[in-house]
Each structure stands twice: as C-alpha cells, then as structure tokens.
A and B are shown apart, each in its own frame.
Chain A
Amino acid sequence: MSELTMPQAVEIGLELLGKDGGVVVGEASENANLRWANSQLTTNGNTNEKSLNIVAFVPVDSGIGAGIASGQVRNRDDVAKLVEVARASGVASGASEDAAELFAGPVSADFNDAPVSADLSGISHIAAGLGEVMRDKSAQFFGYAEHEQDTLYVGTSAGTRLRFPQATSRFELCAKSPQRDRSAWSGQGGTTLLSTNVHEHASNVLQGLEYQKTKIEIEPGRHKVTLSASAVADLMIYLMWTASAREAAQGRSVFSAANGGTRIGEQLTARNFNLVSDPKLSGLETLDRVVNLGASSMSSPFDTGLPISATSIISGGVLSSLASSRHAAAEAGLPFTPLADNIHVYDAAGHGSLSETAARMGDGLLITCLWYIREVDPQSLLLTGLTRDGVYVVRGGEIVGATSNFRFNDSPVSLLNRITDAGESLDCLPREWADWFSRARVAPLTIDGFNLSTKSDAI
C-alpha cells in the first residue's frame, strides 16, 4: 500500500467501478500480542495489515450481479485489477436476488485521515505485570494479551464515505498447579490493555486453584448451575448467530414455527430476559452502519451504509426480532433488522456479582467457562461443549470445593425457561468465540437442569 493512502485507494476503486457502482472497503489494522506458557513468554508479534475489498455491482440480464475481490493494493493498477476481477465475478454471478438501491450513507469529516496507530504501551504494561506475577512459583502461568487497532474506510457509489477506527484488546490468564491437577482461568475484553490489572487476574486464578484443592465427586446428569458471564456469552452469541429471519421463515431453524413462519412473538421464558445488540452500548460502542461484503441469509452488500439501531432479539422473555438483510426481511414479511457487533444480555431482575449469584443458588455448580462449543442439532439448537478451568461446588451458598469437568449437551433456547436467577450484567470475554466476537456485556445466570452429559478427565 506504499503508493496509495487507504482513502485514495477507496476513491480510485469507486472511480473505476464507474456508473454501475458498488462498495469499496479499506481495512488497516495493527496488532501487537504477547503469549506465555509455563511461566515464560513464548511468542509475540507486531503486525500491520492493509487490504482493499471491492464489491462490484454489474448490470446483467434481468437485474444486477455482484462480485467480490479483496487483496493488497500498492498503486492504481492494483486497484484496477481488483475491480476487474470483481466485475467479472459480478457478470458471472447473474442477477443477485438481494439487489437493491444503495443507501446514501454518511460522510465522515475525517474520511481522509490516516489510520489510527495502535497504542503499544499496553503490551509493555502487561509484560511488566507478568514479570512480577510469574515470580510466584506456587503455580505455572499461561495466557495471551492482544491489542488491535482497526481503521475501516467505507465508500459506496451512493456517496457514503465512512471512516471508523476501533480498538480491541483481550487479556487471558490461566494458572495451573505444578502437578497440573488443577487449572483456573480469568479473562478480560475491552479497548485497552492499560486497564488490565494483571495482579487482580492472578489473584482470581490463584483463588480458583485454592478452591480446587478440595475435590468433590459429582456424577453427570442435569444439575443446577450458575454460569459465569463468559459462559452465558458464548451460548447467547451462538443463539444470536443463528437468529436469521430467512432461515426461520424457510423452516430451517430453531426459530421456525411448527406450521410455517417464525416464532417471533413467542414467550421463550417467563423472566424479563433480554438479548440486545446495540451499537451505542456505552463502553462497547461499535459501528452503527451496515458494512457487508458478502451476502448471507442475514446480510447483503446492497445494504451497506444503512443505519444500525439497537435491536432486541429477545425482549422481556419474548422472541421479538430476527436478523435480516432488506431482501430477507421483505421475503419474510418482517422488519429489516441488521445487527451490531456486540451483545447485551440482561435480566431485569438481575442483581449482584457472579459470586453473589452463585451464593444465592444455595446448592449447585459454578461454571467458570465453556469450551469447544459445537452445534449438534440445528432443530433444537442443541449445543455440545466442555466446562473448563473450574467447576466449583456450591453448598449452602459457599464454594466448598471443585469437581471434574463435564461435557454439556443443552440448547441456549430451551435453557431460557430454566433460568432461576441472574446477576448484574458485566463486560466479559467470551472464551470460546473471542477470536470472532468480543464485545459482550452479559449477566451470569443460574439454570435449573443444565445437562452435564458425561464427565471429562481433562484438567
């Protein structure tokens, strides 16, 4: 990208797309990361990445075709090659069923500004904290810290010129006993590593290892559990990813009604439970405009530039909306519902911290996080996965020890009507999905009859 700035590349792309138009998205990212294991740093990196994405809209018989090409560009010729490939793909694709007039989105006053550089001081902050924590030889420490600064440049032939910088950080600390018979984890998402208190996370995981010194045998089966915010986030993110209006309307999802149509309007839980995606969520703000390169049952490049507002997928326990593109919404006879890149899960009656919520459970299991979550049955949205790094036994409101890990088989939809209590929502790091989705404000939940199918010997 040495000869072109990103805004210049976007403008050249749009110019070369000509009157047929399309969408051009430039991405500039800087990433710095540290990784450690066995109480020493292992890998690290500092990378810069720039790429340009062209979505060409091309007139074809009976409509408009769309083609996509992405790559790095260093000069006008490189952009022209991408445009040529995208246009050829658009011609070949035939008429896109989701073709629609592009929306004239906003024009950012700072569109021509340079990408935002990553603040790397957070990495040094983490390294310094780790140096102190790793002196503790009572445990071995493993983990990862990452800070990424992305700057998005979005241009469309309808006039949208959007520049959107976004910082994302992530910190994970795992501690294991020297004999590797106990393991605990603590994580934090956010926008800067400078707010990460490494010592506080170390205190959390060392407390977890201490609890795990008392081993208590628990048989597999359906148990009352309190799921941490991280665990709930991983389940609810998957629910959100499958909440497609088109799939539901076509009878292909857990949100399909038995006799056709969708389950919108159905009471999923008697509690005042809410699952919201809101680009203005304070502290977890994200892009409030649609930017799509490819089409799916939930998205269309022709929607790029349209505003995204807060969307409640579940409101007051009722399935209230499903995600869609304009085309999918019209096809299903539902409102157009694009989703933002965050999730807010709360229960109106939720109160107290994770430990207070677990204490109110009385007797049951406190689950730190979930891992290797996969869909088993799309019809019920049955998911399987493992508990990981701490299943604590709660008796009389107190943690009295820890038990083994388990494989779970349960559905994030069906468990909604088994919620018996909730804590206050808090910012968390969804451990399973953090590579793809990390902006989560989620309540810990107590669930009756959570299906812990079999034991896992894994530590």
Chain B
Amino acid sequence: MTSLSSDLPIEISQTALSVIADAGADVGQFRIAEHQNRMVNTRDGSVENVASDSNTALSVRVVHNGAWGFAASTDLTHEAARDAALRALEMARISAQVSNEPVELIDEPSHGTVNWHLPIGEDAMAKDDSEIIELLQEWNARVAKAQIVNHVDAGVSIGRDTTFFADLNSNQITQSRDRISANLTAIHISAEGFEDMRTCAPPAGRGWEYLTGTGWDWDAELNQLPELLAQKASAPSVEAGLWDLVIDPTNLWLTIHESIGHATELDRALGFEANYAGTSFATLDKLGNFKYGSPIMHVTGDRTADHGLSTVAFDDEGVSAQKWDLIKDGILVGYQTDRATASRVGLTRSNGCAFADSAQHVPIQRMPNVSLQPGKEDITTAELIAGVERGIYIVGDKSWSIDMQRYNFQFTGQRFFEIRNGQIVGQLRDVVYQSKTPDFWGAMARIGGPSTYLLGGALNCGKGQPGQTAPVSHGCPSALFTNINVLNGRKEASA
C-alpha cells in the first residue's frame, strides 16, 4: 500500500479535520482504507480465474447539529478530502432537518499515534500466482484420481485491509490485517443425480502457512474426501423427525453466527436494521434475565482472538479492542455496541464494534468474533457421540437461513454421520435441521472441552444499507443437542 506508507494520510486528514473543526462539528472522523484481494479458482484443474483487486478511498464522518453526515471519495488528495468534509457537513445539515433525536457518541480516550499489524507467518500476498495455482492443481489431482469423483472445484482467496484513522480526538491509528481461505469441492454424478462434498477448513486471519499445514490438516482432509463422498452418495436418506445432534465446530460456528452473533447486535435490538437485516428477539428488556440457553452456555464477544477475522486493535471509531460476555450461564448479559448505541442505552463505553467494509461505506455496528466457550471438562467429540443412542453427528456447513428476529433457523451441512448406540454406523443424506433459537440452545445437553475447540468463520457476513460485507470468526467446541427437528430436504422439495 503506497498511500498509507507515506505522510499523505496524516496530511490530508488534517485538511479534512480542520474544515470540520472550523464548522463547529461535535465529531469529526477521517479514514483511508485500502482493501486488497486476490483470488484463484479452478474447475476440474483448469484455471478459471486469476484475479486481484484493490480499493482505496478516503471518507469523512461528522456529527453536526446532532446529525450524522458522511462523504467519501476515491481521490486521495487535499482537494478531495476538503470536498468530502464539506459534503459530509452538508449531509448532516439535510439529516438534521428530519432528525428528532440528537446523535451522541459515548466517550473514548484518545489513543494517540498507533501502528498495529495482525501477526501472520508467511505473507500470502507476496506469493506468485503460479504457486497458488500449483497448490490448487495438486489438490485437484489428488482428489480427482478417485473413481467416485467426476468434477472438482477449488479456490483460494487472500485478503489484506490497511487502514488509517484520525479524528478530532487526536487519534492517528494505522492498522493492517490479513486473511486467507481455501476450499475444494468434489462432485459425484450418477443416473440418480449428483452429490458433493466440500472441505471444512474455515477462513482464518493467517498467512500462507495456513495452506501448508499450520492451523489445518489439509492432507488429512483431502485424502479422506473421496471416501466421504462415496459414503454420502450411497447413504440412505434421513428419516424426518426428532434427533439428537452432535454438532461439530465446523458446522456449529454458523449456527452461532446467525442465532447469537446477529441477535446480540445492539443496533438490531434497537430497531436500526429493521427494514433490512432485521431486528432481534433479544431486546433490551431481556438483558440480565433472559434464558438464552442451557446453563452450560457461555458466549463471548471479542476483537482480540488469535487469527480471528474480526480481530483488530481499534475499531473505526477509535475504540480499542476488548473481550466481554454476551451470554453467561445461559443468560443474556451483553451486546455488541458502537459509540452511538452505547450512549443511547446508557453504557459507559463502547466495546468497539463499529466498522465499515471500505472507506466508501459508513461504519455501522458490526460483529466481533462471537464464540461459544468450551466446557471446563475436556470431553471429546467421541465421548459426546458415545453418549448418544440415536442421533446424527453433523460436520461442515452448507445451507443456512434464519428469520428477521433470529428465531426460526434452518441449516444443513456437509457430512451427516448416523449414530446408533454410541457408534457411528455410516452417513445419511438430505439432513436439514430446523429450530427456534432459545429452544435450540436450551437443548444443549453436553458441551465438548478445549480439545474440541475450533475457530470457524466466514468472509461474507452481510448487513446494512448500502450493503456491507465483513469477515468474522466464531470459535466453539463440539456440543450435543437433544430432540432437534430434522427435515428430509429431498422430501421437502417434492410437491
């Protein structure tokens, strides 16, 4: 990033902030953000796309006359910074005409001048395209040689965010963080139709080392994939009804994301997302008294987890990273906040969850790493399975959907292993599990220990209008849920 490695950000931020200060605005925040992405994907070993992009912009955000104003530009010049400041002030003027409740931001101490970089091993951004392609083609060849496999799709995605933040509170904060993701899907086609099986490796805040064995055993998973696909292709279709589910972290992270992560966003609870992403059943009156789930449930929010996709030192309002409880002993005890929502509900400090996916978008309250903590006793996944008489062990995520208040959800997965009398007896097909958030978490009967804990996550969490996407991680152990409604996806489709 050339723009952020020079004095330019500081210089043009001063141009913008002086315009804002002269106008008498209460809050003035200036950001430059550069987002770099690389992507390679192959289809049956042939390269389909090798692409890279970068997006750099500046933006100015103000609170003036009690209203927000925001403007952005992809020009990184003094003129563009001054213009953005003036446009932001004008947007605040327009908004103030219709606002009946002034915007107030809760205080945050100045952190001064800071430089922070997410620790990684090997710089993936510096890799030649050919090295990435060779890795994917080697993976492809390894899986495609199995007779059961008719097609293979594979891809690698690499990202880096570099940001500069300055405000009227004397902050000048430069940060960078990397992430990497890869996946491979094997497909079997027969006269009866087709089945697929995808790797379960989550995206991670790591470098190239992640694809060569640090943090994920790619060799083991790729070697197993054809056999897992063969088992699935010949598996019986599930019988719909109530089942006990042992859910692997590779699947449970997504259920946490949808039913806890989004539900504990304070802006949703206050109605700010009502037209789009929705609201939350976890309303403020439930704070401190609502039974979210079973007493063994302890869920935290953090922006500090090692290799977390939402890990950062400071958010886009200059608030330093923290870790806090969202659900403790099964009771709702906290929310994710930005400075405006924290002020609105009388909190003394934001927990640092304001950010945007580019400088061209307004920072909104977004999700930190939200994680289900493992049990104190180190119960293994095998031990959870051993305690189940009739159930399904679900591994890997696939389809997901949840309603606009985060009650009714439905998920599928990659692999569904039937459990009979504490033993896995083979795979099942067409498994869809469906529940209501408090019922599901209330049915969590046992929880795995630290040895089962895995940091899952996604690169594409969506929220806000204009729409924004964000990467986020969710750690969790394996866990047992009793009497969960399982549908047969194939039968649901038949009229």
Contact = CB atoms under 8 A, between A and B. Distances in A.
Interface stretch (A66-74, A313-321, A346-354): A66-74
B264 interface: no
A372 B403 contact: yes
A55 to B, nearest CB: 9
Interface stretch (B116-124, B197-205, B273-281): B273-281
B271 A38 contact: yes
Interface of B: 43, 46-57, 59, 67-75, 77, 80, 87, 91, 94-95, 97-101, 128-130, 133, 150-151, 187, 189, 191, 193-194, 270-276, 278-279, 281, 360-362, 364, 399-408, 410, 412, 430, 432, 434, 436, 465-467, 485, 487, 489-490, 492-495
Interface string A370-411: 011111111111101110100000000000000001010111
B274 A176 contact: yes
A144 B276 contact: yes
Which secondary structure characterizes the binding site on chain A?
strand
A51 to B, nearest CB: 7
A43 to B, nearest CB: 5
B129 A67 contact: yes
A71 B54 contact: yes
B402 to A, nearest CB: 6
A449 B495 contact: yes
Given A33-B465, A250-B151, A376-B489, A42 B405 contact: no
A93 B403 contact: no
A66 B46 CA distance: 12
A252 to B, nearest CB: 6
A121 interface: no
Contacts of B487: 409, 453
Contacts of B281: 457-458
26 contacts: A38-B270, A40-B99, A43-B68, A43-B70, A44-B95, A45-B72, A49-B74, A68-B51, A70-B53, A71-B55, A71-B56, A72-B55, A72-B74, A92-B128, A96-B47, A97-B46, A251-B150, A293-B51, A371-B403, A376-B432, A376-B489, A378-B194, A379-B490, A454-B408, A456-B403, A458-B408
B45 to A, nearest CB: 10
Interface string A240-263: 000000000011100010110000
A443 interface: no
A424 interface: no
Interface string A214-256: 0000000010000000000000000000000000001110001
Interface string A1-42: 110000000000000000000000000000101111111111
Contacts of B151: 250, 252
Contacts of B57: 47, 49, 72
A139 to B, nearest CB: 12
A93 B72 contact: no
A330 interface: no
Q: How large is the interface on A (under 10, 10 to 19, 20 to 34, 35 or more residues)?
A: 35 or more
B95 A41 contact: yes
B15 to A, nearest CB: 15
A185 interface: yes
Nearest to B57: A49
Contacts, number: 272
Contact of A453 (B59, B273, B403, B492): B492
A31 B99 CA distance: 22
A68 B49 contact: yes
Contacts of B55: 51, 71-72
A47 B412 contact: no
A196 interface: no
Contact of A1 (B59, B75, B128, B399): B75
Interface of A: 1-2, 31, 33-51, 53, 65-72, 74, 85, 88-90, 92-94, 96-97, 123-124, 127, 130-131, 134, 140, 142-144, 146, 172-174, 176, 180, 183, 185, 222, 250-252, 256, 258-259, 293-297, 371-382, 384-386, 388, 405, 407, 409-411, 414-415, 417-418, 435, 449, 451, 453-459
Nearest to B465: A144
Nearest to A414: B495
Nearest to A173: B275
Contacts of B128: 88, 92
A459 B400 CA distance: 20
Given A386-B404, A407-B403, A40 B101 contact: yes
Given A31-B466, A71-B53, A435-B467, A92 B75 contact: no
A414 B98 contact: no
Contacts of A31: 466
